[in-house]
Amino acid sequence: MTLFLLHQWKNQIGGPQDASAFMLALRSEQCSQQDKGLIIDTFDDWEVLTPTWFEVADYISDIERLYEDKNFSKRLQAALLASKVAYCLGDYSGSLDLALAAEDAFKLTPRPAARIIGPQDEQYVNKIIEQALDTYKTKRQAGDKNIDKRLVSLVDRIFERNMKKQELRYVIGLALDTRRLDMLQSAIKQTKDQVTQTTLLTETVAKVLSSQLDSIFRAEVLDTLFRLFSELNEPDFVSMCECLIKLDKPESVAHILNRLVYNKNELLAYQLSFDLYENASQRFIDKIEKALVPAGVSSASTTEATTSTVTTTTTDSSAVSTTTSGTTVTATTTEESSEDDSSTSEQNTSAEKMETDEKTTDTEQTMCPEVNTRLRKILRGEETIKHHMQFLIKNNKTDMLVLKQIKDSVRTASAHNATVIANGLMHVGTTCDDFLRDNLEWISKATNWNKFNAVATLGLIHKGHEEKSLQLLDPYLPKENTDQFGFKEGGSLYAYGLMHANHGNQEVINYLADQLSKGSTAAVKHGACLGLGLAAMGTQSEEAYKVLRDALYQDDAVVGEAAATAIGLVMVGSINTQVMRDMEQYIYDTQHDKIERGLRTCLALMAYGRQDEVESFVNPLLDDKAHAILRQTGVCMLAMAYAGTGKADVVRRLLAKVAADPNNDVKRFAVIAIGFVLSNDPEQCINYTSMLVEHFNGHVRYGAAIALGIACAGSGYKEAIALLEPLLAAKENFVRQGALIALSFILIQQTEATCAKVVEYRKTLNKMITEKGEDSITKFGAIIAQGILDAGGRNVTISLHNRTGQPDMTSVVGTFVFLQHWYWHSMAHFASLSFRPTCLIGLNKDLQMPKTEFRSNAKASMFAYPPPLEEKKKEESEKVETAVLSITNKKKQLKKAKDEKMEVDVEEKPKEVKEPKDVKESKDAKEPKEAKETKEEKETKDAKESKDSKESKDSKESKDSKEAPKPDEKKEPEASTHTIQNPARVVRLQLKTLSMPENTRYKPLKALSQGGIIMLRDKMEGVEKEEIVELVAAGGSTAETAKVEPEPPAPFEIVLAQY
């Protein structure tokens, strides 16, 4: 009877209405369990519940009571119905709890969409899944161990459903969010295809490195991924090394390189070493080099000497340690046993056979001394620096006329200083110091700290020219007779550090430390501190730290600022608790603003990349209400700690400081910090700063401009340029300066084809530099901006991220310290650390550049150098022909004819004299030549007269014909592709257009789209001799000197009879 009534009620005209009678039946004890079950099933249908849920909601407690009744057969269905009613009420948390109570009655697969109400069940199921995952993530991230088992069960069902659908990338992402390493491993192992597994692992590594995971869990994930990589026959060694860099395990990287060399895969070992130098710190690379097998030592003996775990694992792969270090060693060994397969696709031997081969040959193989030397030179960066310097010298296209115009417009000391620094930036790494040599008298006008900066620019120009660094700087280095103030000597020590920036060996570090100890003037010590910090960057050397700390504690303002900055450079990213506490305390103790600013930079650099680990240091600093310098320090530490992470909560904290803090410096640094944090997401940075560029406070607008420049560096973003252009007309001079520098950051290496705004911007820069009425601060910024725009001979770009998309320590640090030029102009030289050569360099197994071509599938003009300036010539006024009367013309002609006739009449015939035979022959030989010359002169004269007579008549016609193009000279359409020679200049946008030509001799070891230094495998090795690109000497020429070629000599005749 109940079933019949439900059917009639459900199908009545107008649909089901007034459900109260059935809800009262659920409450009644006289209604049977079976009838109640029928009512529950009926209302579980969305077509019934949708028009009646507001009535059913009044009886939700009765439905829940049925669920609690253990004897009710439809109790799970009752819980599901109650969950749906709660969902309709908007109580999603309660709806989730009831859905969990429904257990298996809640299906992850939604029911088909109803004809009238649509996909209502799909919306409900998706909302419950979303609520469940959010709740689970929150509890897991908070470390809650008492999570509802029913919630865990539901999440497991979600994982299983997606794995069955082969939605593995979704499962991996969900596993990272919910911190489920077991599901991460299951998803990767779900597919048996090794290529797919490798792809998934590589993508996961990139996702982990760019995600906002806490440092502890990220280390666990990377360790797991490394272990999974090691189980593959063809692992991605680049991603494995990225994992090991983040895990700080250089010994494991060394094991990989050793095994690759033993398996005769030197090319891959070289490629990994180049990538390691680009991505790892000096300290990390030093440890790799120490762990490498020495030349001539067998692999077996070295393995036994270094670690017994590797040998044990090679013979018994089942012995796996459960500790983190043990897992890494085991993974390395397992990976090593299969690297011969992975490195060359030609080899198809199985892993088992390879292990057997290694066991039998390990004792016989040794590290070739030549290969060992090359490997160490690559790791030290010697090869990278050498080839980058060759590239910059060969392709130097600096427009010297730009510098000449700037020099001619300089009238103040600050503009003179800016011009010298701009010259250094324009010639970074080119070794071309022509401007300095050609303008020695003008350069000598620099005095005091300007002289310091001028000498320091030699370090920019000769950056990377390390072999002859002391020889180049010898005239300026400290000697026994030091200058009274030592500006020249201090600048030379600074230049020495710039030459060896992030690449100083122990000899360089010891020399600078010795000069710091011996220094007698503040300028010398200042330069020595900065040079030592640059050379020992990232080494975390205790010796260097102690020397710099002693200089800091002298409490000299000039020396202390440089010493504090240098300590930050040496200890960058170390978060050494004791050092940080000492530096923080000294901020309270010192009375010098300069030292306080140096310590602010120091603490910020030490926090680089440490994310949540610095929170315990940052929070007290941000909350300090008495000292603005401490709040500035806290903001700067956030900028460095979270650089390139894109964390939204950090950005919100920085915006709160912009809004609430009364100190202008804090506001400015807080906005700049947003640019560092969002450097991996330019569009998001534009969204955050779009309102700040219109802020009433000039310091906030300056910070917004710099933030846009940092986040959008080298991108040519039109939205960012549109926000910055109005700031060029700001009333504050420092805001205009910031806008100019930011625009140069964004427009560097942009062409008219890629970003049309760059042409107008160059004109704006030239106008601001040359105009007499421009403010000195703005003019300083304009000149520096010009140097950045044409940096490195127009062959470098600015990027805070490396080729894999991870924050680049050197670039981030260099940009941050460069911004301190707001207080101290000498810091402007640090911009060179953020420059990256835009090159594609192919190397063979001998680390030489073979002559080969790359194809770019784009027009050559798309990425060409900007055209050089043309020197303006003085415009000559057109000659107007004088009106001549006809009678006057006739008289002149008669007079001329008479004069010619008179000259002939006066002429006497020479007497005949007998001459010697040889003299007569010589004279006869000369006569035809003289007659010819006389004839040519007469013809030239007649032609000139004829031309003059026609000039007035045809002047207009000749002008028109000159302007109109000839039909024969039609411009041919530009080819859609072009080839570039090794080493090639390849800008960022051009990378995706690159490919190897067909039938080429070389095969790249990695995709050309990644750029940089790429190893090339010679397919004709031993068959045909390679052609090698010749190396050029340092001191390369500029675009002007390279362009001018000597003209061929004029044609001439030789008369043999005259000799």
459 in any annotated domain: no
How large a percentage of the chain has pLDDT more than 70?
80
Contact between 586 and 550 (Cβ < 8 Å):
no
Whole-angstrom distance, CA of residue 1036 vs CA of residue 432: 5
Q: What is the DSSP letter of 716?
A: -
User: What torsion, rounded to 10 degrees, do the Cα atoms 815, 821, 826, 831 define?
Assistant: 20
Q: Which two tokens stand for residue 982?
A: 């090794």
CB 646 within 8 A of CB 212: yes
pLDDT in tens, 799-810: 999 888 889 999
Instruction: Say if residue 983 is preceded by a cis peptide, omega within 30 of 0.
Output: yes
Residue 67 lies in a domain: yes
Tokens 């303002």 correspond to 557
For the chain, give the number of residues: 1059
Q: How far apart are CA 492 and CA 810, in angstroms?
A: 22
Do 261 and 373 fall into the same domain? yes
* CA R_g for the chain: 39
Beta-bridge partners for 855: 979, 995
Contacts with 598 (C-beta within 8 Å, 6 or more apart), sequence order = 552, 560, 561, 562, 563, 564, 565
End residue of a domain, out of 89, 113, 133: 133
* Strands (E) located in 448-575: none
Q: What is the mean pLDDT of residues 657-665?
A: 94
First-residue to last-residue Cα distance in the chain: 139
Residue-by-residue DSSP string for 254-294: HHHHHHHHHTT-HHHHHHHHHHHHHHS-HHHHHHHHHHSPP
Task: Judge whether residue 571 has pLDDT over 50.
Answer: yes
238 domain residue, yes or no: yes
- Would you tell me how many other CB atoms lie within 10 Å of the CB of residue 921? 12
Q: Would you call 195 exposed, middle or buried from its count of C-beta atoms within 10 A (0-12, 13-18, 19+)?
A: exposed
Q: Is residue 476 part of a domain?
A: no
The answer to whether residues 665 and 638 touch, using CB atoms and an 8 Å cutoff, is: no
Structural domain count, the chain: 2
Please report which confidence band the pLDDT of residue 192 belongs to, taking 50, 70 and 90 as the band edges.
confident
Q: Would you place residue 264 in the very low, low, confident or very high pLDDT band (cuts 50, 70, 90)?
A: confident
- At 797, which helix (H) or strand (E)? strand 796-798
Q: Which of 271, 328, 345 is nearest to 842 (CA)?
A: 271
Q: Do 254 and 120 share a structural domain?
A: no
Domain-located, residue 240: yes
Residue 637 within any structural domain of the chain: no
pLDDT at 1 over 50: no
Which pLDDT value is given to residue 774? 86
813, with CB counted inside 10 A (0-12, 13-18, 19+), is: buried
Task: Verify that 128 and 221 share a domain, yes or no.
Answer: no
Instruction: Looking at the structure, tell me whether residues 128 and 252 fall in a common domain.
Output: no
Calpha distance 596→615 (Å, rounded):
21
- Alpha-carbon distance 248 to 218, whole Å? 13
Q: Based on the domain organization, do 259 and 124 belong to the same domain?
A: no
Nearest Cα to 668, choosing from 643, 692, 688, 694?
692
* Mean pLDDT score of the chain: 82
Q: Does residue 173 sit within a domain? A: no
The domain of 52 spans 2-133
pLDDT band at residue 372 under the 50/70/90 scheme: confident
User: Distance between CA atoms of 1001 and 999, rounded to whole angstroms?
Assistant: 7
Q: Examine the domain organization and report whether 124 and 267 are in the same domain.
A: no
pLDDT category at 643 given cuts 50, 70, 90 is very high
Question: Is the predicted pLDDT of residue 235 greater than 90, yes or no?
Answer: no
Which region among 254-268, 494-508, 525-539, 899-913 has the lowest average model confidence (pLDDT)? 899-913
The amino acid at residue 653 is R
Q: Are strands 853-856 and 839-843 parallel, antiparallel or unpaired?
A: unpaired
- What is the C-alpha to C-alpha distance for residues 633 and 642, in angstroms, rounded to an integer? 14
Q: Which of 938, 904, 55, 836 is nearest to 391 (CA)?
A: 836
Q: Are residues 129 and 220 in the same domain?
A: no
Q: Which of 79, 98, 133 delimits the end of a domain?
A: 133
Cα(107)–Cα(550) distance, integer angstroms: 70
- Residue 337 placed within a domain: yes
- What CA–CA distance (Å, rounded) separates 516 from 526? 8
How many Cα atoms occupy the beta-carbon half-sphere of 1 within 13 Å? 3
Q: Are 458 and 473 in contact (CB under 8 A)?
A: yes
Q: Is the pLDDT of residue 895 over 80?
A: no
Q: What is the pLDDT of residue 322?
A: 31
Domain termination residue (choose one: 88, 103, 133): 133
Q: What is the mean pLDDT of residues 96-101?
A: 92
Q: Name residue, tokens 């912009």.
A: 658
Same domain, yes or no: 114 and 222: no
Tokens linked to 999: 């039938």
List 842's β-bridge partners, or say none.
1014
